[in-house]
Amino acid sequence: MKIAVVTGASSGLGEEFVRVISEKYDEVEEIWVIARRTDRLEALKTRFPNKKIFPISLDLTKHESYETLSEMLESEKPEIKILVNNAGFGTLGDFDTMDMNTQTRMVDLNNRALTAVTSVSLPYMNRGSFIVNVCSIASFAPNPRMTVYCSTKAYVLSFSKSLRFELKKKGINVLALCPGPMDTEFLPAAGIEKGSSHTFDTLPRVNPAMAAEKSLHYASKGRGIYTPRVFFKFYRLLAKVLQHGLVMHLSKS
């Protein structure tokens, strides 16, 4: 059985990944959708009836979840054609005002879970399979008031580049999707409301449907990084050539 695995599929960008895979990737027979909210995952079955949707309710900050997923894969022995590591969250605010549990949970989800899900999935991926790791423009340079979040995304970018290099010989591609702000549940959950950050108020928005569609397409064609919108491509270039001290001054408010 050929499957796709999408983490964080219960809302926002993750839901868009499920939609695009169900509409455009004919060889995928079943989509394993992972998140905590069971009702949202179940609802995907009626939203996308043209593909078999298999909901798996897991809290990916918990170690047992990786074991559960690993056991399910071991029992079903599917071929994973597409893996989308999308689950993640962020917070806006100075590090010393944030509680320790939130900060470490962010590392657990954005990095530990992404690493573990990739590790247990890879034995089921073959030549032509590909991985999309959802990163962020926050990976390009440190961002004050999102210290842990941008550090976790810098990990995702570095992990994706290096893994892509390693997996080339096996014909498995890895792409890091680096979007700017998208109007999903992410922003309110991060405490980013209108007026809370001048930077976020002024940045253009990325369309999650477009980001999902293009990142899957580029990943299938062997590309390594995709940054939607010219504005953010330019930021990526600036973050490469400017001192990060200066970039942080520009993005701090």
Cα 58 from Cα 56, distance rounded (Å): 6
Q: Is 125 in the site for ligand NAP (CB under 6 A)?
A: no
**Could you tell me whether strands 225-226 and 79-85 are parallel, antiparallel, or unpaired per DSSP bridges?**
unpaired
Site string for ligand NAP, 23-42 (x = CB under 6 A): ------------xxx--x--
User: Rule CB under 6 A: which of 41-80 touch ligand NAP?
Assistant: 58-61
Cα 191 from Cα 94, distance rounded (Å): 12
Nearest to 247 by CA among 139, 168, 113, 164: 139
Handedness of CA 97, 156, 219, 18 (dihedral sign): negative
User: Rule CB under 6 A: which of 159-218 touch ligand NAP?
Assistant: 179, 181-182, 184-187, 189
- Residue 12 C-beta: closest distance to ligand NAP, Å: 2
**Up-side HSE of residue 42: CA atoms within 13 Å toward CB?**
3
- Residue 45 C-beta: closest distance to ligand NAP, Å: 15
Options 9-17, 43-51, 119-127, 160-168: segment touching ligand NAP (CB under 6 A): 9-17
Among 22, 86, 121, 139, binds ligand NAP (CB under 6 A): 86
Nearest to 133 by CA among 6, 235, 33: 6
Contacting positions for ligand NAP (CB under 6 A): 8-14, 35-37, 40, 58-61, 86-90, 109, 134, 136, 179, 181-182, 184-187, 189
